[in-house]
Amino acid sequence: MDLVLASTSPWRRTLLEQAGVPCRGEAPDVDERSVTAAGPTELACELALRKARSVARRFPDAWVLGADQVVHLGDRVFH
The whole-angstrom separation of Cα 18 and Cα 27 is 21
Question: Which position among 29, 31, 61, 68 bears the catalytic label?
Answer: 68
Query: Which of 31, 25, 29, 1 has the alpha carbon at shortest distance from 11?
Result: 25
Active-site residue, 2 included: no
The strand ranges marked E within 6-79 are 24-25, 63-65, 71-73, 76-78
Mind telling me the catalytic residues? 68
